[in-house]
């Protein structure tokens, strides 16, 4: 692993995606979403700030997810079709370096996008009396971690299946990842051993993305402990690393024929 190679790949990916118009469209969309909350908020009495922050945080996750899934799913395939990947790997660059660089570049794009949306979000909250709080930074951070795990998922799928399947699978993992806690709880209430075992298996096979969801708690002023944030960080890093190792193993064996 050479740091210079990984940095170059990450920077290249970041520049390319940030300059891609898709990114701007989604950013504009985010702005429109946040702006629309100002239209919605007069309809609520007394809960103006909560509505704005609820909708805003949800929009950030959805838009971040869209960028990660749609840019990430075609990553390997698109570059393979275009021949770019072969010019990179014909240089003394390892395939794992390539994947890590791509992951970091995509992650950086997503982080930049969250940052832009976060600033817009906080500025909007300043306009609603009493809604502004720096506790939202915790929600931003955990959303970033959640989407980093999703980025690792999409990188993994992009190494082994077509872009459409990679997008569908990743969205599937995102939805199931938010339900995995419920699936386990549901299983533990069941009588059958098989159902219980199956629900436990699903729980451990998928990242539990609810761990990162403190958005509701932050909006409603419920406490979020430092211990929770630390554990969630560890959990996210472990999942992302595991998925990247797995992607590396799959990608190293892959034939790269345009």
Partner 1 sequence: MSRQLLVEKMSPVVVDAAMAPGAGSLGGPTADDRAAAEPALRVADLTKSFRSGFARRRLRGIEGVSFTVGRGEVYALLGHNGAGKTTTIGCLLDLVRPERGEVTLLGRDHRDRASRARVGYLPERPYFFDYLTGRELLEFYADLLDVPRRERTDRIDRVLRQVDMLPDAGRRLNKYSKGMLQRLGLAQALLGDPELLILDEPMSGLDPLGRREVRSLLQELKRQGTTIVLSSHIVPDVEELADAVGILRDGRLVLNQRLDSQTGACTYLVRAAAPAKAVLAAGLPGWALPVGTAEDSAGSDTPPTLLATDAEKLRELLDACHRAGLPVRTVEAQRSGLEDLFMRTHAQRTVV
Q: Does 112 bind partner 1 (CB under 8 A)?
A: no
- Using only the alpha carbons of the chain, give its radius of gyration: 20
Strand, helix or coil at 13? helix
Q: Please report which residue ranges of 41-162 form alpha helices under DSSP H.
A: 48-73, 75-82, 84-89, 95-127, 136-160
Q: Considering the rule CB under 8 A, would residue 8 count as an interface residue with partner 1?
A: yes
Q: How many CB atoms are located within 10 Å of the residue 19 CB?
A: 9
Among 25, 35, 44, 82, binds partner 1 (CB under 8 A): 82
Taking the C-alpha atoms of residue 209 and residue 149, their distance in angstroms, rounded to an integer, is: 9
Q: Is 258 in the site for partner 1 (CB under 8 A)?
A: yes
The yes or no reply on residue 92 touching partner 1 (CB under 8 A) is yes
- 182: which 2 tokens? 């419920």
Structure tokens at 47: 């809960």
> Is there binding between residue 67 and partner 1 (CB under 8 A)?
no
Number of chain positions touching partner 1 (CB under 8 A) = 29
Residue pair 222/138 in contact (Cβ under 8 Å)? The answer is no
Select 172 or 258, whichever has its Cβ closest to partner 1.
258
Return the residues of window 19-58 that contact partner 1 according to CB under 8 A: 19-20
Region from 15-23, 103-111, 186-194, 204-212 binding partner 1, contact rule CB under 8 A: 15-23
Select the residue interacting with partner 1 from 51, 76, 88, 206 (CB under 8 A). 88
Residue ranges in contact with partner 1 by CB under 8 A: 2, 4-5, 7-9, 11-12, 15-16, 19-20, 82-84, 86-94, 253, 255-258
């Amino acid at each position: 692993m050479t740091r210079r190679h990984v940095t170059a790949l990450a920077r290249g990916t970041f520049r390319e995606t940030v300059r891609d118009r898709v990114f701007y469209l989604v950013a504009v969309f985010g702005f429109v979403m946040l702006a629309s909350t100002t239209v919605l908020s007069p309809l609520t009495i007394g809960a103006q700030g909560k509505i704005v922050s609820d909708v805003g945080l949800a929009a950030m996750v959805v838009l971040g997810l869209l960028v990660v899934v749609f840019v990430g799913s075609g990553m390997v395939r698109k570059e393979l079709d275009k021949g770019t990947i072969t010019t990179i790997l014909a240089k003394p660059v390892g395939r794992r370096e390539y994947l890590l660089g791509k992951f970091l570049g995509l992650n950086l794009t997503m982080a930049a996008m969250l940052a832009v949306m976060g600033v817009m979000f906080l500025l909007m909250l300043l306009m609603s009396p009493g809604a502004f709080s720096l506790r939202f930074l915790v929600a931003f951070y955990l959303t970033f971690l959640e989407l980093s795990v999703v980025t690792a998922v999409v990188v993994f799928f992009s190494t082994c299946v077509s872009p459409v399947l990679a997008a569908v699978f990743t969205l599937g993992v995102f939805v199931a990842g938010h339900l995995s806690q419920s699936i386990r709880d549901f299983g533990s209430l069941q009588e059958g051993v098989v159902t219980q075992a199956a629900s436990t298996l699903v729980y451990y096979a998928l990242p539990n993305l609810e761990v990162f969801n403190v958005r509701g708690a932050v909006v409603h002023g419920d406490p979020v402990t430092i211990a929770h944030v630390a554990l969630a960080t560890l959990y996210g890093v472990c999942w992302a690393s595991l998925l990247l190792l797995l992607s590396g193993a799959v990608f190293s064996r892959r034939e790269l024929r345009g």
